[in-house]
Chains A and B, each alone.
Chain A
């Protein structure tokens, strides 16, 4: 069954808060999974690089899981929706990260973690939406 365009647009807008919440939960789960896949070692010299890698891994996992569903649901608007999806995470963590001025290592690790989350999610969603819209164009003509 194919929905009319207006109904499809309305459904996308109605689903937006749920998508944003799902993105927030997904990121939390990815952080937990990254710690399981790449545990922090006891040696402090190794702990910092691993913490940085964990953030990058969590961002990669989130992007890998979310990019195609977002692109499938929102098509060309998907990168914009990906930006919106990052907002709850940024809203809850950014003030805390910016406060850590006295702890540059902690601030750096978390700033990098957030930056990689935003860049990878938006970038991967943009690529996925390009891939899907391109394939759709090909199948039509």
Chain B
């Protein structure tokens, strides 16, 4: 008699736009900070202008990040914010990672699981 094989659900596909170290950092930073200027992002992420510009453009094109110009006494500053679409995508990305490496549900075992579970 053939052994019954339990159907495993397909693996969650990670969002390719967020599955890039700098863009993950960008989205996570904006999710925590609420909004940030270009120089704040550059300072906190430690990247070059061109690199940050390029990745921000990708996130803006996908409607993950929006911008607004703040008028002040000095030069107008651009502030970047994570849009609801971006926040939702980041949450789904984190959930997908959690599904790939189940923590705290009894299935994770071994040194890695213990270490990550704290």
Contact = CB atoms under 8 A, between A and B. Distances in A.
Contacts of A39: 78
Contacts, number: 60
B15 A96 contact: no
A51 B61 CA distance: 8
Interface in A47-77: 47-48, 51, 54
A19 to B, nearest CB: 18
Given A32-B50, A39-B78, A109 B16 contact: no
Contacts of A42: 66-69
B49 to A, nearest CB: 4
Interface string A92-119: 0100100111110110011000000000
A101 B67 contact: no
Interface of B: 15-17, 19-20, 48-51, 53-54, 57-58, 60-63, 66-69, 78
Interface of A: 27-29, 31-32, 35, 39-40, 42, 44, 47-48, 51, 54, 93, 96, 99-103, 105-106, 109-110
10 contacts: A40-B60, A40-B67, A42-B66, A51-B57, A54-B57, A103-B16, A103-B17, A105-B62, A106-B61, A110-B61
